[in-house]
Structure 1
Amino acid sequence: MFDDFRFWLETVFIKRTVPPPLERMQLRPDDSPANPLMIQFFTWDCLHESLSWWKHLEEEIPNLAEQGYTQIWLPPPNKAAELDGRGYDAYDLWDLGEFEHKGHIRTRWGTREELLSACSAARRHGIDILIDAVLNHKLGADRHETFMAVPSNPDNRLKDDGPPRLIDGWTAFDYPTRNGKYSSFRWTKDHFSGVDWDQKTQTKAIYRIVEPGHKGWSRNVDTELGNYDFLLGVDIDHSHPAVQEDLLKWGNWILGTTGAAGFRLDAIKHFDRKFLLSWIQHVRKRTGNDKMFCVAEYWSADLDKVIPYLRFFRGETSFFDVPLHHNFHLASRQSDSFDLRQIFKKTVVGLQPGDAVTFVDNHDTVSWELLDCHWMQDSQSLESWVSENFKTQAYALILLRASGYPCVFYGDLYPNREGYSERTAKNLRILVEARKYYAYGPQQDYFSEKNCIGFVRKGDRSHPGCAVVLSNKSGPATFKHEVRMNVGLANGGSSYRSLMTQEGKVAIDAQGWGSFFCFANSVQVWVKV
């Protein structure tokens, strides 16, 4: 409780000296006035039937460019602890599928050459690459070491669960096959604050290292479970100067090697926020790229917990709008008992739209019981999948509105076994097209009914704008809502057609008003004929 108050006190008076991150960072590789759009190009369990993932990505890049995507968020490209590891079980950040480890050279996603080829193809097609940076922990050490540690209470890491004892922890990372290429740094027990396994007793627990020189858990982390520094595996001590320097060098190196434009920052509630802020600033300075893109994953549906982080980072990174995703999840579960007029209540995009990367689902929100997750079973608490009955509505609310920067999930666009719906994918492609060609200009909201809301984008000199109506009402599909909205005097006397159903027209009167409709539990996007 005290640490919560201390953090709030530290951040409450922070004033920004730079524009909001989405105004200052690069969202597309050119100066095109077209709407930018991100795609997360992976799911948790994804693999291609005949191609490596990087080859699959390279094949899809022309299609993604044509649809209007300007950024691709890649899965962590680094060598994982296991061949099937997604990269969040980070073994070696400097190995992109180049060196043999446990009998394999490639990562789950492919080889270094395949990755760099896909990154090059993206640049040729006007798409930026984003690297998923896993800087909190490591797994898959080459050998274990003996040291003193104390078990922490799993429900309150600030309390000990027993006396100090000698344990054998997997903390030595020698990288014998890489042999110092790119980085000569070797990790040992001196560079970590905790582990989750004692090889000596074959016991799983949260052990805090208490050797001389160790400072314990960082205080600059989330206060969930007392102190949320430890997440999994071997917890990195970000106060160690050698650790800081190696991670700073890696940030510069990975951008230079891949030509990427920035980062998705994994699990930031779990490691030292002061180090992370310094890391972002130093990588920007070292690369000479003031527009380097960053989006942080702070997973909390509680906006009050997110706000101090928004203040603390002073516009140096954008944030995934987890509170908005949670509202989408609730709307999909509650059906027409959910009040659509409250959909943006207590969200990042509602409070600070220039900070918000909006999304519907991602790899952390899937139904974990469908997957074989091994070491990620602890992440079941993140399960908050948006059901199909509200997924199209949710995408309309992030893709077609003026606020926030939307991210599309691969699992909603491409066939997969983690919740794919052909209907949703079809609707999503239409909405992405509408974003590319129509969703521009000033926005006017018409949020007057609990189960049906609408909004108008007035367009600009190059794009005609659109009108959007969506419903969460259960019942007969023939039930029709109508929302009277104004599309502007310039469109007076015209008519509008539907993009979603390819049927029906709306007549616009001389003052720009029209009665736009949609059916129960659906979306309609209307554009000028």
Structure 2
Amino acid sequence: MNFLKSLFLRQDPVPLSYMKLGPELSKENPLMIQFFTWDSKATGTSWWKHFENEIPMLAEMGFTQVWLPPPNKAAEKEGRGYDAYDLWDLGEFNQKDTVSTRWGSKEELLSACRAAKEHKIDIIIDAVLNHKLGADRTERFQAIPVNPQDRLKELDKAREIEGWTVFDFPGRGNKYSAMRWNQEHFTGLDWDNATRTKGVFKIVGKGHKGWAKNVDRELGNYDFLLGIDVDHRHPEVQKDFFSWGPWVLETTGAVGFRLDAIKHIDREFTRRFLENTRKSTNRRMFSVAEFWSGNLDAVLPYTRAFKGETAFFDVPLHMNFHDASKHYSRYDLRNVMNNSLVKVKPGYAVTFVDNHETVEGQSLESWVGDHFKIQAYALILLRGAGYPCVFYGDLYPNRECYNEHIARNLKLLIKARQLFAYGATQDYLSTKNCVGFVRTGDSTHSGCAVMLSNREDDYLHVIRMNVGKAHAGSTFRSFLTTDGRVEIDADGWGEFTCFAGSAQVWVKI
């Protein structure tokens, strides 16, 4: 009876409490950066070399983890890797008219990974396990066209189609993996080469079980996303992926994964993939999953299903930021953290403001406007809950989304996180258009006071906040601007200010 009771009461481990986020025994705040945009290209060098050159500065700024773009060979020479052709080719073999990937050669990748390790920066591998593209040959098989808006509705009877589903990997041969992919290893595809018809086709016939059941229910069944959809129930598929996971971590020295498009992958497979790789490598292996939904109620069941094996990007919080930027002063800042993963399950939440797919014109466009960008970053970088990820496009010059003013203030917020943002978080939800919070500090960090506004005029906000009696009689200065002083009274209170439509951080002199 006691055994059954213990099983019933057993809690799953909280991902961010046990996974590796930075150097062992470090008391400094960990911080991740997504080191690419969708169109990233380095001038005069490879992306991997560009990354290696930036590592010393990233370490100095306090970054402890770097999420790199998919290192695998893509279907096209300039493919980003999300068009996954061969996961076992990291820029080593002459396939798809190139040896290097868009990002560089395997040698350059491994050199950058070694440099990162020397600077105590962990590497996160972007794992694209949902689909494949760029097959080497076609074959004929039976398939049923289904309604793209409801994949459970069949539009016709089974018929023979011709699909690009045979992967021979002629450049790599049997090195690392001898598996050859064909239609048996897939559930569906979006192109019938015989009739030159685009659609969604469910592969049927001997050995096929239809769409995976343990996926998101959007569009009836969201197993199929794009390209050629992998059947993760197939034993050969599982064996290959379960071998690839430990191999890619050991080869690169990376500490974990960013899991792409998990709402389309059988969640039982993904959980087993993580369990298997963790057992084979390191129990503190890091993992963060991309489940793209702004609806917290859709995300929470996945956090339970994975039994503590992975953290999740806080898409609901990102969508709150996007809504706030769209509605300007009409948005109530007192609600900005509501219905977010970081508020409900902070130990599961990797917070972010934007990424490569939210940029204007991209598939998940939901850009956080420049007028609210720094306020959003202040919320993820300086509060105590969650694990923040900074977007390369907001920090580094690029053609897609760079704003020099944003980058300047973002660097200051990153510095404030590194130096001051420690201890408990106390909120001061003052008004609809201005909120504040205090980090109380710890034995080696003095803490800070933070304010943010979305008002659209020249107003100067004032919030009375308590920074603790330990700071009685001291003076705080503004960190994002060069002037501004606040005197702290005998009880630890001060009257802090912030200009309309901006953010401000106050730190002890």
Aligned 8 A contact 1:14 1:314 in 2: no
- Post-superposition shift, 1:309? 0.5
- Post-superposition shift, 1:211? 1.6
C-alpha separation between the residues in 2 aligned to 1:24 and 1:505? 40
Q: How does 1:307-386 map to 2 (within 5 A)?
A: 307-368=300-361, 380=363, 382-386=364-368
Q: Tell which deviates more after alignment, 416-425 or 134-143.
A: 416-425
Q: How does 1:457-476 map to 2 (within 5 A)?
A: 457-476=439-458
- Post-superposition shift, 1:29? 3.0
Paired AA for residue 55 in structure 1: K
Aligned 8 A contact 1:14 1:311 in 2: no
2:386 to 404, 427, 436: 404
How many aligned residue pairs are there? 503
Aligned 8 A contact 1:16 1:314 in 2: no
What residue in structure 1 maps to residue 152 of structure 2? 158
1:509 maps onto 2:492 in alignment: no
- Post-superposition shift, 1:482? 0.4
Paired AA for residue 420 in structure 2: Y
Q: How does 1:476-487 map to 2 (within 5 A)?
A: 476=458, 479-487=459-467
C-alpha separation between the residues in 1 aligned to 2:84 and 2:387? 28
1:172 to 166, 178, 198: 166
What residue in structure 2 maps to residue 7 of structure 1? none
2:412 to 430, 434, 443: 430
1:392 to 374, 385, 398: 374
C-alpha separation between the residues in 2 aligned to 1:127 and 1:49? 24
C-alpha separation between the residues in 1 aligned to 2:495 and 2:296? 35
Paired AA for residue 211 in structure 1: G
What residue in structure 2 maps to residue 493 of structure 1? 473
Post-superposition CA distance 1:450-492 (Å, at most 9, x none): 100000001111111100011010112xx20000000000100
- Post-superposition shift, 1:102? 2.7
What residue in structure 2 maps to residue 296 of structure 1? 289
C-alpha separation between the residues in 1 aligned to 2:456 and 2:439? 27
Aligned 8 A contact 1:16 1:315 in 2: no
Over the residues paired in the alignment, what is the CA RMSD in angstroms? Answer: 1.0
C-alpha separation between the residues in 2 aligned to 1:16 and 1:503? 53
C-alpha separation between the residues in 1 aligned to 2:367 and 2:277? 34
Q: Secondary structure at the match of 1:447?
A: strand
Q: Secondary structure at the match of 2:430?
A: coil
Post-superposition CA distance 1:51-105 (Å, at most 9, x none): 1000000000000000000000000000000011100000000000000113210
- Runs of at least 4 residues of structure 1 off by over 4 A? 13-16
- Post-superposition shift, 1:15? 6.5
Residue 16 and residue 140 in structure 1: after superposition, are their counterparts in 2 closer, same or farther (change >3 A)? farther
Aligned 8 A contact 2:13 2:307 in 1: no
C-alpha separation between the residues in 1 aligned to 2:40 and 2:280? 34
- Post-superposition shift, 1:443? 1.3
What residue in structure 1 maps to residue 421 of structure 2? 439
Which consecutive unaligned segments of at least 5 residues does structure 1 have? 1-12, 369-378
Q: Secondary structure at the match of 1:395?
A: helix
C-alpha separation between the residues in 2 aligned to 1:100 and 1:15? 53
C-alpha separation between the residues in 1 aligned to 2:16 and 2:338? 21
C-alpha separation between the residues in 1 aligned to 2:91 and 2:66? 20
Q: Secondary structure at the match of 2:354?
A: coil
Aligned 8 A contact 2:461 2:497 in 1: yes
C-alpha separation between the residues in 2 aligned to 1:75 and 1:16? 36
- Post-superposition shift, 1:502? 1.4
Structure 1-normalised TM-score? 0.94
- Post-superposition shift, 1:403? 0.3
2:268 to 247, 271, 274: 274
- Post-superposition shift, 1:419? 1.5
Q: Secondary structure at the match of 1:285?
A: helix
Residue 86 and residue 468 in structure 1: after superposition, are their counterparts in 2 closer, same or farther (change >3 A)? same
Residue 14 and residue 78 in structure 1: after superposition, are their counterparts in 2 closer, same or farther (change >3 A)? farther
C-alpha separation between the residues in 1 aligned to 2:322 and 2:348? 21
Q: Secondary structure at the match of 1:448?
A: strand
1:419 maps onto 2:412 in alignment: no
Q: Secondary structure at the match of 2:431?
A: coil
Aligned 8 A contact 1:70 1:128 in 2: yes
Which consecutive unaligned segments of at least 5 residues does structure 2 have? 1-6
1:90 maps onto 2:84 in alignment: yes
